[in-house]
Chains A and B, each alone.
Chain A
Amino acid sequence: MRSISKLFIFMLLILMSMMVFAVSSKDYVIVGTTDKFTSLDPAKAYEYLSVNLLQNIMTGLVTYVPGTTQIVPALADKWEISQDGLTYTFYLKKGLKFSNGDPINAQAFKFAFDRVIKLGQDPSFLLSDVVKETKVINDTTFEIDLKYPFAPFINILAFTVAYPVDPKVYPADQVYNGMPVSSGPYIVKRWVRDVEMELAPNPNYYGEPAKTPTILIKLYQDANSLYLALLSGEIDLAYRTLLPQQFAQLQQNDKFVTYVGQSPFMRFIVFNVKQDPFGNAKIREALAYAVNRHEIENKIFAGQVKPLYTMIPAGIWGSMNVMPSQDIAKSVSILQSLGYSKDKPLNITLWYTPSHYGSTEADLALTLKNQFESTGLIKCNVNYAEWATYIDYWNKGVMGMFLLGWYPDYFDPDDFVWPFLQSSASPLMGSNYSNPMMDQLLTDARLVSDEPGRTALYGAVQKLMAQDVPYIPLFQGEQQIAAKPEVGGVVLDPVQIFRYYLLYKK
């Protein structure tokens, strides 16, 4: 009797495991990530995964061609910019519909833009800083009037903050936390907060339909869990963010395919020029000469970052290498000319934050410390604070020299220099740098609308930055994906929009 019940249990287990594996098919792709998303309302979404999900379930007036930084019409058919650069008129495609069947028209755009500005949430400043008013000319014609001419404005319109929302569903006076109404290739079919999200094709999408019927996005707590999930076959693809060593191991593993692409994410040192001794440009210059970016690239990141010699990263037009490579002799001679010696070294403190930029951060700070001290004339202390405290410290000017990172909101050189170098913006970055000549160059570059003219101005901006050294650019990140070989359609584009709707299983 006992052996019969054992046999029965055994058979039941086999049957159930068959049922578990019967779900596997080519109809879905499972994406794993350590990122978190907090809101899928375009008026609030600001951190990477929230924005990236919106880029797959919604779309705006314009968008980027996959794999490039080229802007093309999306929901708009075409657009016109007035001579003075103050009025943008968009002519929408006809018959556009949200996933619930409601029309996507000029009224929906006006509602969305006005709502973003009224709600004043995280990304609202991108519109409120520059948009004076919005007008509905007719159902398919939408006009935006600017406060001042702003050449990169079209790039802002490609960002999620400028996506239309359904006025019948999204409340005008508060953030919407319900199921998103889609205008993009996918709809959200199911959503278990902080666990997973299931996407299904949007039947009302105007463009080419999504390649896979179901995308499942699974959220992991940390890189180790993500790595183990990929190795155990639980997910098809891991995107953001594995540790450098884990990715290097996957590159050697023939059971997985790895993809590497350029990323606009960059890391740099900030000098608070109001704090001694960093008010002295010569000291900042001496420190810049002491930095060896190749050592950082290879020793800490296993070759998975690219050295950066300017504040405009490669892949963004106008980028020009202006900062010097390591030259210890030059650094020593500057420090000696300032009166520093082995007996009377320059005392500085470098700050970092231990987890926000990954577990490699302490190594990065220690490597920089060693590089500075290799001059023999610098004594560098290293100090750290957890992220929330770190932000507080830099706002209060506690830190004189600290590590920071930047991921752009819009893909124009302006977003890599204005927030750092313009005198009214630099205090927010903790730098307090101010140079009237720099302000003039930056303002001129916003007013000029032709690319060659702007390229020349951004060239001058970068040269002046290299001269004043309010920041030391260190390296530019890489986008990395590790996937099972049967996953196709992986496109890593320079604007870092990861497109789930192109993924499929071979």
Chain B
Amino acid sequence: MIFILLTVVFVILRILPGNPVTAMLGPKAPPEVVKSMEAQLGLDKPIIVQFGDYIANILRGNFGNSTVTTLPVIQELEDRFPATLELTIFSMIIAVVIGIFFGSFAASHYGRAIDVTARIYSIFVYSMPVFWFGIMLQLVFGVWLKVLPVSGRASPFMTPNNLYTGLYTLDAILNGQWDVLYDAILHLILPSVTLGVVISSIFVRMVRSNVLLSLSSQYVISARSRGVKERKILYSHALKNAMIPILTIMGLQFALLLGGAVLTETTFSWPGIGSYLVERIRYRDFPAIQGAVVFFALFVVAVSILIDIINAWMDPRVRY
């Protein structure tokens, strides 16, 4: 799959009009400079040779050097990845918490006001553009109420002293810098709420329908007949079993989450891989774009494997 993706991205970039050298140098560079840059970047070779070089390098873990900064792409991605990871983790937590509580609550109150509200909420939130919601939150909490920062990962002079993981929250804890931790959490609130709320719509619907299904199953009926409390039935019996398909969906949602991260990162000037990708597309920075897309793909694959493992752990029927 990754090989197909690599090939598709490589071909699309070459088919699109726009030369990375002229996009970078602009109108002023003389043709000799453009030619020599093309030679430096290997863009003067036949496409098939470029592709062969590219695949060979990827297999060796070399994503090439950015045409804009001349730095190794892998280094740039390493710098940016913790920001995206931190944002996605927090967004996922928000999405899952909203999804589980709202979804199971709606299922247990099937047909009542809370159920209708949950359904309207998920349709409304799903159809809401991420950047619009982000800007609205910025306006209300950043500009009018002035209680939360509107952009970036940290306030001036509030970055962790030593970066161990690149996750500001974790590094702040490891450094014992509690003020930095507080500041990093404040900065995470708006972007992760934006992304988390938008993603939560699918979870709410999934949890609701799966819990409904579980609630009508034989074991719930028998539990009820044994006089088990409704609350316990909902959270210990129905929800636990409903979680198995939801986990699978969570893995699939990760791809959507990363797509949303591109827009969220742009809205909140969040220095992750999403904003990196947008920025480098403008310059036709082939190695950087290819690197970022492959990185995203590997990330989704890794999460899918992780979800499968959790699934096996949760569902006694699954054994590898």
Contacts and interface: CB of A to CB of B under 8 A. Distances in A.
Is B truly associated with A?
A: yes
Nearest to A120: B36
A382 interface: no
Contact of B28 (A23, A177, A394, A428): A428
A228 B152 contact: no
A234 to B, nearest CB: 6
A192 interface: yes
27 contacts: A20-B182, A20-B186, A23-B155, A23-B158, A121-B37, A129-B30, A192-B159, A193-B76, A194-B80, A195-B271, A196-B152, A218-B152, A224-B135, A224-B267, A225-B151, A228-B142, A228-B143, A229-B151, A232-B146, A232-B149, A234-B152, A388-B283, A391-B26, A392-B19, A395-B22, A428-B28, A430-B27
| Chain A at the B interface: SS class | mixed
A16 B177 CA distance: 10
Contacts of A44: 70
Given A23-B155, A195-B153, A221 B183 contact: no
Given A23-B156, A120-B36, A225-B267, A234 B29 contact: no
B263 to A, nearest CB: 11
A241 B16 CA distance: 29
A130 interface: no
Interface string B136-178: 0011001100100111110111110000000000000000001
A54 B98 CA distance: 48
A389 B16 contact: yes
B91 to A, nearest CB: 18
User: Which bucket holds chain B's interface residue count?
Assistant: 35 or more
Contacts of B68: 38
A222 B156 contact: no
A304 to B, nearest CB: 22
Contacts of B76: 193
Interface centre among A20, A174, A175, A419 (most CB of B within 10 A): A20
Nearest to B83: A195
A300 interface: no
Contacts of B37: 120-121
B316 interface: no
Nearest to B16: A389
Interface string B21-37: 01111111111010011
B173 to A, nearest CB: 13
B153 A125 contact: no
B266 A221 contact: yes
Contacts of B155: 20, 23, 234
A38 B182 CA distance: 31
A197 B151 CA distance: 16
B63 to A, nearest CB: 16
Interface in A113-131: 120-122, 124-125, 129
A196 B139 contact: no
A177 B69 contact: yes
B312 interface: no
Contacts of A231: 142-143
A225 B268 contact: yes
B315 interface: no
Contacts of B146: 232-233
A404 interface: yes
Nearest to A30: B156
Contacts of A220: 151, 269
Contacts of A17: 182
Interface string A29-57: 01000001011000010100000000000
| Chain B at the A interface: SS class | helix
A499 to B, nearest CB: 20
Interface in A390-406: 391-395, 404
B133 interface: no
A198 B158 CA distance: 12
A125 B30 contact: yes
Contacts of A392: 17-19, 22
Interface centre among A192, A232, A392, A429 (most CB of B within 10 A): A232
B156 A391 contact: no
Contact of B150 (A121, A234, A387, A389): A234
Contacts of B80: 194
Nearest to A19: B179
A16 B19 contact: no
Given A175-B70, A177-B71, A391 B22 contact: yes
B279 interface: yes
CB-based closest 3 A-B pairs: A388-B18, A19-B179, A388-B23
A472 interface: no
A28 interface: yes
B84 to A, nearest CB: 13
Contacts of A196: 152, 156
Given A122-B24, A224-B135, A39 B143 contact: no
B151 A234 contact: yes
Interface string A1-36: 000000000000100110110010000101000001
Contacts of B152: 195-196, 218, 234
Contact of A391 (B19, B79, B275): B19
A346 interface: no
